[in-house]
Structure 1
Amino acid sequence: MPTLKIFVGTVYGGALDVAEQVKPLFEQAGYDVTIYEQPSLEDLVDSPTDLALFCVSTTGSGDCPGNLVPFVRALQERSPSLHELQYGLIALGDSSYGETFCGGGRSLDVLLEDLGAQRLGDRLEVDAMETFMADDAAIPWAEQWIDSQNLQVA
């Protein structure tokens, strides 16, 4: 059974809620799914990862949440080759913050691509000014992502 690792960067729990809400969709598609609330680089590179999904909120001035900072720093410092990694990304933000909107997810996306990872499809950016519950946007996106990227294995 292929694996999906969901890496969460959250401040108040919204990104974790998204991860928990989309998890059953991937299980139905045939994946063994694990959610990482305190992800480490080892969680990504030390065991096989068939597919990764990053659910990342934004804090401060467009920064990644504190629980994701050690993961991001390890990526930056160790620069592992991620050429085998295929991933998706759900970024949560608030457009009233202007240029830093979804900054946590956007910066992680750039870093992953710089390390050779391949994003499948478009990044979802959820705007708190338009969508009260982020999973209202994330669930249809995940369903469409599974279908459009032919991720169904079951």
Structure 2
Amino acid sequence: MPTLKIFVGTVYGGALDVAEQVKPLFEDAGYSVTVLEQPTLEDLVEPLPDLALFCVSTTGSGDLPGNLTPFARALQERHPALTELRYGLIALGDSSYGDTYCGGGRRLDALLEEHGARRLGERLEVDAMETFMADDEALPWAERWIDEQGLRQA
């Protein structure tokens, strides 16, 4: 059975809620799913999952949440080759913060791309100013993502 690891970067639990809500969609699509609340670089590379999903909120001035900072720092310092990694990204933010809107997710996306990872499809950006419950946008996006990227297992 193919593996999916969901990497969570959260401050108040919104991104974790999104991860837990989309998990059954991927299980129904044929994946063995692990949700990682305190992810490390080793969680990503040993072994590399068949698919990764990052659910990331933004804190401060467009920064990654504290629980994901060690992961990002290790990625920057150790420079692993991620050319075999296929991933999706759900970024949570608040557009009232202007230029730093979804900054945590955008920064992580750029960092993964720098290391050769390949994002499948478009990044979902959920605006707290427009959507009270992030999973209201994340669930339909995940369903479309699974279908549009041909991720459903036979």
Fold agreement, TM-score > 0.5: yes
Question: Could you say what secondary structure the match of 1:146 adopts?
Answer: helix
One-letter code of the match for 1:18? V
2:63 aligns to what?
63
Looking at structure 2, the residues matched to 142 and 46 of structure 1 have their Cα atoms a distance apart, in angstroms, of: 25
Question: Could you say what secondary structure the match of 1:145 adopts?
Answer: helix
Gaps (5+ residues) in structure 2? none
1:52 aligns to what?
52
Looking at structure 2, the residues matched to 43 and 147 of structure 1 have their Cα atoms a distance apart, in angstroms, of: 26
Contact 2:82 2:117 in 1 (8 A): yes
Looking at structure 1, the residues matched to 18 and 48 of structure 2 have their Cα atoms a distance apart, in angstroms, of: 23
TM-score under structure 2 length normalisation: 0.99
Residue 21 of structure 2 is aligned to residue 25 of structure 1 = no
1:150 aligns to what?
150
Gaps (5+ residues) in structure 1? none
2:117 aligns to what?
117
Looking at structure 2, the residues matched to 48 and 57 of structure 1 have their Cα atoms a distance apart, in angstroms, of: 23
One-letter code of the match for 1:43? D
One-letter code of the match for 2:109? D
Question: Could you say what secondary structure the match of 1:54 adopts?
Answer: strand
Coordinate RMSD, CA, aligned: 0.5
Structure 1 residue runs of 4 or more that deviate by more than 6 Å after TM superposition? none
Superposed counterparts of 1:3-152, under 5 Å:
3-152=3-152
Question: Could you say what secondary structure the match of 2:151 adopts?
Answer: coil
One-letter code of the match for 2:63? D
Looking at structure 2, the residues matched to 71 and 5 of structure 1 have their Cα atoms a distance apart, in angstroms, of: 14
One-letter code of the match for 1:79? H
One-letter code of the match for 2:69? V
One-letter code of the match for 2:50? D
Question: Could you say what secondary structure the match of 2:141 adopts?
Answer: helix
TM-score under structure 1 length normalisation: 0.99
Looking at structure 1, the residues matched to 51 and 153 of structure 2 have their Cα atoms a distance apart, in angstroms, of: 12
